[in-house]
Amino acid sequence: EVQLVESGGGLLKPGGSLRLSCGASGFNFDSYTMNWVRLAPGKGLEWVASISGSGPYIYYADSVKGRFTISRDNAKNSLFLQMDSLRVADTAIYYCARETADGYSPLNYWGQGTVVTVSS
Amino acid sequence: EVVLTQSPDTLSLSPGERATLSCGASQSIENNYLAWYQQRPGLAPSLLIYDASTRATGVPDRFSGSGSGTDFTLTISRLEPEDFAVYYCQQYGSPVYTFGQGTKLEIK
């Protein structure tokens, strides 16, 4: 059974940093592109970033480029999101999601999400 | 970046009625790589349709997707109580993925 479990969320002040993790199980982790997607309060889903199975292809939404860094450790079946220079607008539930293949494919498995709150 | 615009923002219907949700793209979506997701309150999104018209595993056949290029539609033929939720379209035809703003399907 495919499982994705996010952790690392919390409450912090603007300008702070946070590292989210997503532990994966039940599939060959290095064969799939992984994504982070967020849902801000009262807003819709926003795609944040993706990283290909072996890591060479990385993409970001304009809203986080230069502040967030996506990475993965295939040996530990883990996905990460390093979030720096956090803003109030980054407050959201952050979901880890797996594509159906390694790139250019829909998101068919999602974690339960971890909450990030940025407030002064 | 491909901008997706969904309409309407909110759709009020009764169980048993037909729902039609639209998603328009600012440019043609490569290979019609367009997906639809359902999100119920407090839960993670769930994939319904991919490649514009293919139902994901386990999705009831009352859900159908159509369209190509820049105009796409999700149709729910006969609404069940559990279908009242928020629906999002998403394109994965360009490397920077994007979602539409969502359509809230509410009970009338």
Q: Which of A45, A50, A110 sits opposite B99 (nearest CB)?
A: A45
In whole angstroms, give the CA distance from residue B32 to residue B94: 11
State whether residue A60 sits within 8 Å of chain B by CB: yes
DSSP states along A63-90:
TTTTTEEEEEEGGGTEEEEEE-S--GGG
In whole angstroms, give the CA distance from residue A38 to residue A21: 14
Contact B97 A62 (CB under 8 A): no
In whole angstroms, give the CA distance from residue B74 to residue B48: 10
Average pLDDT over every residue of B44-60: 98
Contact A106 B90 (CB under 8 A): yes
pLDDT tens column, B3-41: 999 999 999 999 999 999 999 999 999 999 999 999 999
The pLDDT value given to residue A55: 77
Nearest residue in A to B102, CA atom: A44
pLDDT tens column, A16-59: 999 999 999 999 999 999 999 999 999 999 999 999 998 789 99
Q: Which of A37, A39, A106 sits opposite B35 (nearest CB)?
A: A106
Residues of chain A found within 8 Å of residue B100, distances taken between Cβ atoms: 44
Average pLDDT over every residue of B66-93: 98
Measured at the alpha carbon of residue A41, what is the angle toward residues A44 and A37, in degrees to the nearest 5?
Answer: 50
Contact B45 A60 (CB under 8 A): no
Average pLDDT over every residue of A7-12: 97
**Residues A36 and A51: beta-carbon distance below 8 Å:** no
Please identify among residues 89-108 of chain A the ones whose CB lies closer than 8 Å to any CB of chain B: 95, 97, 99-100, 104-108
pLDDT tens column, B73-85: 999 999 999 999 9
Distance of CA A58 to the CA centre of its chain: 12
End-to-end, the C-alpha distance of chain B in Å comes to 35
State whether residue A17 sits within 8 Å of chain B by CB: no
pLDDT at residue A87 is higher than 80: yes
pLDDT tens column, A60-76: 999 999 999 999 999 99
